[in-house]
Structure 1
């Protein structure tokens, strides 16, 4: 039993050529062929969302929820941003039977960010997935720590227990050794490390032409993560692959982040 999960920050409609980047994102998804995709900085309009647009060609299922991280520019930087929401997205090979937006702690934002918590109809039972993006502003660091603690509580809720592992994926805006991740690392396993991923891997590189260099502590770090816990005591979860994706397509960067891809396998509880 197993699946391929991918997490990717899609850079909303920031930067240049967002329409061309959409095609490069779709190309990457076809090449990786993941079963589950956690998406951050996803755009949404009254008519459609980026998640639903990306789901159509391969016949995937999609969900979207608005979030406040990062906030959309006010005023818009260009007309294509006007009235467009920033959100979290989820793509799944299997039907998304239910999902909800879980508010995260926020003392410094007018609107609380969210975690998208979903249940997927995997053939072997319900698969629970949490998609999120944590605070990044250094002056709001207390919120980032509080959000990590809240996320750990969400992920360990016994209501999520079942025959399949529980997955947490997203842009956590923290390097693997950051104190921010301590509450998560205490109850979840970093799939990248478990799968033998390169310890020096970077998902937000200063080499990108539009890298947010002002986010100094996050630059040239792996800040995008896939975390996992057994769904039941005695279940063994292993990671057979941990790689990066999202490299330039015909010279165009699909996003300012690279994606994390992990192949997970698990045994029935003993």
Structure 2
């Protein structure tokens, strides 16, 4: 005896889905007059559009050199900050008059002396070494009065074009950010300058290495330190200026 079996639910659902898809498929007229089914994928391929996520500006990662420089750029004492303000004021005035670099240093030193500071132009010179060539560098120094009766004068270094000394070719974003942190005019003692030069020189080496460039000898830490920490000659004030300062000091003491 043969039993009539009803189709299972899965088979019925598959058949209904196939019929629905076939009825919705586009038709085209055949050359023989019949109709043929055209695949939808052949006409309009399915493309999945993804919406890009908007992000904010990407900032360079702060390296250890960046953090070291960030803690060394500010003046250490109130006297250094006041001296920095005086130097920037005289520097802006002399640059507006069109003075050149070496003349600019002498003019700023004369203006600082007229304001009562013991300032002078210093020229450091160093010989040739296996790691870097010989050279010389001009900057200012100011001898501040002793903080106490038994103390000695404080020698403060002043460089009016400090930031440009660390420029390199094809800098990375991280090094450009560090370069902007360096002061354009440096005023401070030699111990802070030594640490600042070391941090900036290490960052310059890392930037050049990432770009695949060779570190030039004039950007090595030894060469950069030699600019300000080598033996130097301190120019004395002109005789007429020294005589005027002496007369001014005697007049102040008599008053």
**TM-score normalised by the chain length of structure 2:** 0.26
The structure that is helix-richer by fraction is 2
Query: What TM-score results when the alignment is normalised by the length of structure 1?
Result: 0.25
Q: Which structure is richer in relative contact order (CA contacts within 8 A, separation 6 or more)? A: 1
Q: Larger strand proportion, structure 1 or 2?
A: 1
